[in-house]
Structure 1
Amino acid sequence: MLNYKIKIKAFYGFVLNISVIQIMNYISKNNIKGNGPIHLPTKKKIYTILRSPHVHKKSREQFKLYIHQRFFFVYNVKYNVLKKIYIPSCVKLEITKIC
């Protein structure tokens, strides 16, 4: 029985919120102690691309990519129990052990 930190990331905020609700339901259904969700700041990446391949250097286009993040702490649970959490494929789940 160890303590774990669960960090989830997604490009779409509404998909991440649905995943958070699924994790909360899973934690409460299995009587696992935990804290969360803790909202982390949204990261924003901006990519600038030239519109034309040869000329018109001043003509550019920008794309924004937002990364939404949430955080959970889970206490006194086995790692195998956490591996059974189902989330959509567009959400990244990171499980790390804490002391």
Structure 2
Amino acid sequence: MASQVMRITLKAYDHKLVDASAAKIIDTVKKSGATVSGPVPLPTKKEVVTILRAVHKYKDSREQ
């Protein structure tokens, strides 16, 4: 029989919530008798936004 694999990705602004949720999931999975490998922390994604510094016509003046 083929093995079944489940991957769960958790996202939150507060890392404490992610850690607590991951611990609850791991405890539940271990109680059911399945094997657990993880949690594996993924890299943090940053969104870089460019804004105009000048109010009117100076489009070359920008910040990131």
* TM-score, shorter chain, exceeding 0.5: yes
Gaps of at least 5 residues in structure 2 are none
With 22-31 and 3-12 compared, the bigger mean Cα shift is at 3-12
State the partner residue of 1:16: 18
Q: Does 1:55 align with 2:56?
A: yes
Distance 2:21 2:52 in 1: 36
State the partner residue of 1:4: 6
How much does 1:5 deviate?
Answer: 2.0
Gaps of at least 5 residues in structure 1 are 63-99
Distance 2:37 2:14 in 1: 23
More strand by share: 1
How much does 1:36 deviate?
Answer: 0.4
More helix by share: 2
State the SS of the aligned residue for 2:37.
Answer: strand
Report the count of equivalent residues: 60
State how 1:1-99 maps to structure 2 within 5 Å: 2-50=4-52, 54-55=55-56, 58=61
How much does 1:25 deviate?
Answer: 1.5
Cα distance per residue 1:6-49 (max 9 Å; x no partner)? 22222321221111111112112222212000111111112244
TM-score, structure 1 normalization: 0.44
TM-score, structure 2 normalization: 0.62
Which structure has more relative contact order (CA 8 Å, sep 6+)? It is: 1
C-alpha root-mean-square deviation of aligned residues, in Å?
2.7
Whose radius of gyration is greater, 1 or 2? 2
